[in-house]
Amino acid sequence: MKPGCPKCFKVAEKNGNEYICPSCGDVVAQIPATLSIEEQNELLKKVNESYVRIINDLEEDCERYFDQRNRLIECLRFYERLARGREVNDGGRRARTLLAEIGVNVE
């Protein structure tokens, strides 16, 4: 059984004594072999760099999702106020603007 990439969940391909993700190029696993200390250190650096990239990507995704969440909450609050008569009916313009800001196409 081949290992899978923890970042994109694709099946890794064997390249020498390593399994490398074909999508993101991260080292996913290694085949145990007798390695020198320098080779072990180099391999550990590669694995560490892969996890640092994964963590950075996840942090960016979290920031984007929280921003989108906040914009949707703002939209819902606007329409709650509209339903209670505290806002002027704009025909959905505010909702379309907020949704467009997070990349949602509304017709």
Asked if 4 and 11 touch (Cβ cutoff 8 Å), the reply is yes
CB-based contacts of 31, cutoff 8 Å, min separation 6: 14, 17, 18, 19
Tell me the C-alpha distance between 67 and 59, whole Å.
12
User: Which residues share a beta bridge with 82?
Assistant: none
Q: What is the pLDDT of residue 106?
A: 66
Q: What is the pLDDT of residue 64?
A: 92
State the number of CA atoms in the 13 A half-sphere of 53 facing the CB.
Answer: 15
Asked if 22 and 13 touch (Cβ cutoff 8 Å), the reply is yes
Print pLDDT tens along the chain (107 aa): 677 777 777 788 887 777 888 888 888 776 776 778 888 888 889 889 999 999 999 999 999 999 988 888 888 888 777 777 777 777 778 777 877 887 777 66
**pTM for this model (two decimals):** 0.49
Tell me the C-alpha distance between 76 and 29, whole Å.
46
Q: What is the pLDDT of residue 83?
A: 75
